[in-house]
Structure 1
Amino acid sequence: MSSPSLKDRVTEDMKAAMRAKDSERLGTIRMITSAIKQREVDERIQLDDSQVLAVIEKMIKTRKESIAQFQSAGRDDLVAKEQKEVDLLQGYLPQQLSEAEVDALIAEAIAESGATSIKDMGKAMALLKQKAQGRTDMASASARLKARLGG
């Protein structure tokens, strides 16, 4: 039997949070569900696991940006709230890759795409994204790929 989809896991976690009366967790999970539904309605599609991961990663990125702004404003109370949400959201991401694994995937993407310069970055990045999406910070992976291609 196959494992439940990521969307099903989010729904089950929401029910569990309701039963446990864990309002903080429930609020964050409802935000995930809302973001998934919004994208499904906007695009008239059913999201698969990789698309759900992209939604969750975008939510994490937004919160990390908020954390940086709250830290510079000295709002530690809001930093803590956002960090809790980031921690919960990251629980839905697959096991993160090590630096060495990311470097190996970058080398693989360069080899497969035949990239030789920064002009070929798009092709290599597309391959890298397929292999590493949700398992590493794509912004830093992109920067490392760019450096490898001499950018």
Structure 2
Amino acid sequence: MTLIESLMKDMKAAMKAQDKETLTTIRSLKAAVMYYKIKQGHELTPEDELTVLASAIKMRKESLEEFKKGGREDLVEQTEHELAIIAKYMPKQLSETELEQVIIETISEVGASGKQDFGKVMKVLMPKIKGKADGKLASEILKKKLS
């Protein structure tokens, strides 16, 4: 089942349940997927779908940080709910230990020896963890490993 099919099925369920928050989130996600599909000019691959989902999550996490700084608890709660809905469509996320193991393997695969090899390692690492782990966390772990 493609992402669009899953979104449509869940959208119908949210309509029947009259769950407006879930419905709004799914509609915005569906719009983002359709926009990306039009922009690409072809049917989306699973990797393309992950790109759209990761972008939606990243955007909401950034908003969440700003809402917390501004003391907007109402928006914090709403954004956390949206993140939980979007997370259902993502593949199983790597634990921090699993992510660290992938990073260690990538460092040895690339032959990195210090901070100067950070970019080289990230270039190989990101396709491996795309949609399965947060790039910001991966970057922090990699910095620690290379120093």
TM-score, structure 1 length as denominator? 0.86
CA distance in 2, matches of 1:48, 1:62: 21
In structure 1, runs of 5+ residues without a counterpart are none
Q: Percent identity?
A: 39
Of 5, 8, 32, which residue of structure 2 is paired with 1:8?
Answer: 5
Shift of 1:142: 1.4
**Gap change, CA 1:128 and 1:7, over 3 Å in 2:** farther
Structure 1 stretches of at least 4 aligned residues deviating more than 6 Å after TM superposition: none
The count of corresponding residues between Structure 1 and Structure 2 is 147
Which shows bigger deviation, 133-142 or 28-37? Answer: 133-142
Counterpart of 1:29 in structure 2 is 26
Higher relative contact order (CA 8 A, sep 6+): 2
Q: Is the 8 A contact 1:67 1:82 kept in 2?
A: yes
CA distances 1:91-126 after superposition (whole Å, capped 9, x unpaired): 111222112111110011112222223333233213
Report the counterpart of residue 143 of structure 1 in structure 2: 140
Q: TM-score, normalised by structure 2?
A: 0.88
- 8 Å contact kept, 1:118–1:149: yes
Are 2:62 and 1:65 equivalent residues in the alignment? yes
Structure 1 residues 11 and 71, CA gap change in structure 2 (3 angstroms): same
CA distance in 1 between counterparts of 2:106 and 2:3 reads: 26
Calculate the aligned-residue CA RMSD, in Å: 1.7
Match of residue 117 from structure 2: 120
User: Corresponding residue for 2:16?
Assistant: 19
Partners of 2:6 and 2:112 lie apart in 1 by 38
For residues 116 and 74 of structure 1, the distance between their equivalents in structure 2, rounded to whole angstroms, comes to 43
Match of residue 134, structure 1, among 119, 131, 135: 131
